[in-house]
Structure 1
């Protein structure tokens, strides 16, 4: 058992393993996109396909997380796992993957009705595509310069976000007040009400 774990740790930083994990992130994104009522009603086999793909992806990401924790240390060491922002993001994604797999098991065994209010727990899963894209997000500037840029632009980002939220909430409230439940519709005179 220990030799298999050592073999996995040595393979972890090879190019094909990194590409495999990127493909797993893409598969996870596709799986969560397929996880809708209409898709499962039209193609019932996809229930098992999405579950199988989610289980494999979750196991691979979990084993990668455990291997990185073993190499780097959890909270102590040269570069602890939980003190690195990307590793914190990866751990959060693994957490949501496990929640999604457990929820899907409950839905398949009818413990929880399909697409209940608990399905909202799948909402953060599309963020796993950041893992796919972050390979291309390489900064060639010094870290102090990047921090300086973020400090300068943070006030502008705050103002734009506040402006955006104000108008989205304003138009959201106006839309709900004006259109409500949409029980009335405009129709041509003489239309059969049935």
Structure 2
């Protein structure tokens, strides 16, 4: 069984410490100033057909952050894979119509296959928000795709220390079910939140 699956994904991010750390890292916030409050963690795996959660948080300036995390494994490619993308794009377009600059939304898709015809592993599709501030991301809606096979190719030629010291890389490595144990061990031991996340998912193996 995959280390990151429907049950473990929700269990991991339903933990406040883990959720705060992930959102802080993803949006590159200042922990001391942001003072995030986690509003909710929803299990949306049934809705999207793949392991999916939605995290919502609010900082002390009342800006809201919402991150959907979707894990696409090879076995999902034979199912209604296009339905996932249709749901993501429909939700994104509906969100853009409402245009609330204080509630940016991100869909982070961790895909264990190559999808986009280019060599970079990290691709984003964005609807820009012209009203930005220190605590408000520039994008009203963003769909970010991490293609794991390409990421592994890049990481194979990088020093492990470079990967481990980059906060968001650590999360990508952790969310990759095919990460080799030595690198996973380094990442887990480097980051307290990921250490806790790894401990939380052990009960679902």
> Smaller-chain TM-score range?
under 0.3
With structure 2 as the length reference, what TM-score do the two structures score? 0.25
Higher strand share goes to which structure? 2
Highest Rg: 1 or 2? 1
Higher helix share goes to which structure? 1
